[in-house]
Amino acid sequence: MSVFDGLNRVGRCTRCEEYIYEIKSQYPLDHEYGGEARSLGRPLNICRVVTLVLMNGNQCDITMCISCIEQILNLPDIWRKLIRTWQLEQTDKYKIVNNSPTLTLKQKKIQTLQLAKMVYNVPVGVLCIRKPGDRND
């Protein structure tokens, strides 16, 4: 069991959690995030970027493997998984373990407001699916 169970994991498909990026390094096994990807290399051939359109008209990119693209109709579950991940990433504990600076009180308030907007601006559809690095806009 991992601290990341039920969350979006670095370098993996948002839906099935298969690795979709080369893994350059991993956390040591005795680390709290033992075995998880620490730094990523290039995307694998199965990696795709899915651009979602949110209720307020904004866009959000997520990464998925080719096999899961057909399953993308389950957007509410995917969105809830992403929100849980964003919540974890804003905690002081997560930032300390990853040697990132902790947020000031003002930054925490801004993050809380942004997260609240994400909760209510759910995805309403898929705009496009592309290979990482491809831009047609």
Q: Is residue 105 part of a domain?
A: yes
CB 102 within 8 A of CB 54: no
Q: What is the pTM of this model?
A: 0.71
The H or E element spanning position 68 is: helix 66-69
Q: Is residue 32 part of a domain?
A: yes
pLDDT recorded at residue 43: 93
For residue 28, give the nearest of 38, 18, 42 by alpha carbon: 38
Averaged pLDDT in 10-residue chunks for the chain of 137 residues: 62 88 86 78 93 89 88 77 80 68 82 79 87 72
Tokens of 126: 């898929």
What residue numbers bound the domain in which 41 lies? 21-130
Instruction: Count structural domains, the chain.
Output: 1
Q: Is residue 16 part of a domain?
A: no
